[in-house]
């Protein structure tokens, strides 16, 4: 079970590292209690993803496209 207090901090760190690596503006909404809304740089195509799916894409699993093909090893 994901929690906003613990897992939410880890997810926020993963989103920040992902943003640094790709360097593009984005609007991202992650669902589940550990998710949130991230809009650094203001702009970009909006995306809504399940938090676990987002983490899987960052880990190189699944079939990532666009900015989601930027890998963040964790």
pTM confidence score: 0.91
- Supply the pLDDT for residue 45: 82
Domain borders along the chain are 7-39+53-69
What span, in angstroms and rounded, lies between the C-alpha atoms of 24 and 46?
A: 13
Q: Are 70 and 50 in contact (CB under 8 A)?
A: no
pLDDT in tens, 8-62: 999 999 999 999 999 999 999 999 999 999 998 778 889 999 999 999 999 999 9
- Supply the pLDDT for residue 39: 92
Q: Which two tokens stand for residue 24?
A: 């593009």
pLDDT in tens, 56-73: 999 999 999 999 999 998
């Amino acid at each position: 079970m994901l929690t906003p207090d613990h897992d939410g901090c880890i997810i926020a760190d993963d989103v920040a590292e992902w943003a640094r690596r790709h360097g593009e503006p984005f609007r991202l909404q992650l669902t589940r209690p550990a998710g949130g809304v991230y809009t650094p740089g203001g702009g970009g195509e909006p995306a809504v993803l399940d938090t676990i799916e987002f983490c899987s894409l960052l880990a190189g699993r699944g079939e990532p496209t666009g900015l989601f093909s930027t890998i963040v090893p964790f």
